[in-house]
Amino acid sequence: MQSLLSRRLVRFVNFTLLFTAVLAISSHVGSPQLFGDVLEYVAPVVWPQPPIIQPGTAGSPPSDAIVLFDGKDLSAFKGGEDWKIKDGYAITDKHDIDTKQAFGDCQIHVEWATPEKVEGRGQGRGNSGVYIMGLYEIQVLDSYNNDTYYDGQAAGVYKQHPPMVNACRKPGEWQTYDILWEGPKFDAQGKLLKPAYVTILHNGVVVQNHFELTGGTSWTEKPHYTAHPDKLPLRLQYHYNQTRFRNIWIREIKDIVGKPGNNPHHPD
């Protein structure tokens, strides 16, 4: 009995390995394979090869990123010379700074740290911000044991949506934002065709999951959209606190587009 079970197990494993191998080969080649009386499904699309990039190791950008700040200077930003650079990081000062280049749909990586010496409270403690397209603020704040309105704490979409969890590290410790941004789209008459969406990982934790923005993030106005170009500069905020930034990079998100394929596939 035991040996019969063993033989069946071996046959099952062999079948699984063979089936997996056939799938692996056929999905690369793109022509449907017959396995017994089972015909593989092949999508009616010919995909280009996804570009090969080198992902970053801890603390370094991937090979196709546009590096906005590598610890040396803020020349990628208008007015960046007014922020202090020290030991590979930048300290907010005097005014907001905007990138010289404009960006639309993108992936943004930012590392930041609020002052180790805790001063002020609420919105006055380590406040800065990542203003995507210069209009949509992802709040930067010391939110470690610091009460404020929830949609104004760190990783909040300012005045629109709090983070799902508070993943803030202690004051003085370096923190990361990894942001996926889909900008709003407008027609030629300025009518909103598609709202903006944002997904954010704060210190590797999902805190905003494809959140739909209802407009720009203002301290005084109800959120609303005003038509703007598909690409605008990224802004970092100066909010009278000495917040530090390092290792800032951005990748424009471009969908991969296939061509119609002629290979047989399962009919609809």
Beta strands in the chain, from DSSP E residues, in sequence order: 34-35, 38-39, 45-46, 66-69, 77-78, 84-86, 89-91, 97-103, 106-113, 128-132, 136-140, 175-182, 185-186, 192-194, 197-202, 205-212, 232-236, 244-252, 259-260
CB of 149 to Mg ion, least distance (A): 12
Structure tokens that stand for 37 in this block:
């009386």
Residue with tokens 């396995």: 35
Site string for Mg ion, 213-242 (x = CB under 5 A): ------------------------x-----
Cβ burial, residue 53 (10 Å; 0-12/13-18/19+): exposed
Span of 24-32, 47-55, 92-100, 123-131 interacting with Mg ion by CB under 5 A: 123-131
Closer residue to Mg ion (CB): 127 or 166:
127
| Positions in 54-73 near Mg ion (CB under 5 A) | none
Closer residue to Mg ion (CB): 127 or 148:
127
CB of 180 to Mg ion, least distance (A): 20
Is residue 49 within 8 Å of 234, Cβ to Cβ? Answer: no
Alpha-carbon gap, residue 130 to 139, rounded angstroms: 7
Among residues 104, 129, 171, 183, the one that binds Mg ion under rule CB under 5 A: 129
The residue at minimum Cβ distance from Mg ion is 129
Q: How long is the chain? A: 268
CB of 153 to Mg ion, least distance (A): 10
CB of 88 to Mg ion, least distance (A): 23
CB of 237 to Mg ion, least distance (A): 5
- DSSP run (H or E) holding 51: none
Closer residue to Mg ion (CB): 128 or 247:
128
Closer residue to Mg ion (CB): 42 or 146:
146
Is 163 a binder of Mg ion (CB under 5 A)? no
Closer residue to Mg ion (CB): 235 or 251:
235
Tell me the number of residues near Mg ion by CB under 5 A: 3
Residue (of 251, 246, 266, 255) closest to 112 by Cα position? 246
Span of 98-106, 128-136, 194-202, 215-223 interacting with Mg ion by CB under 5 A: 128-136
Among residues 114, 127, 148, 241, the one that binds Mg ion under rule CB under 5 A: 127
Q: Are strands 175-182 and 259-260 parallel, antiparallel or unpaired?
A: unpaired
Beta strands in 52-135, from DSSP E residues, in sequence order: 66-69, 77-78, 84-86, 89-91, 97-103, 106-113, 128-132
CB of 127 to Mg ion, least distance (A): 5
Interacting residue ranges for Mg ion, rule: CB under 5 A: 127, 129, 237
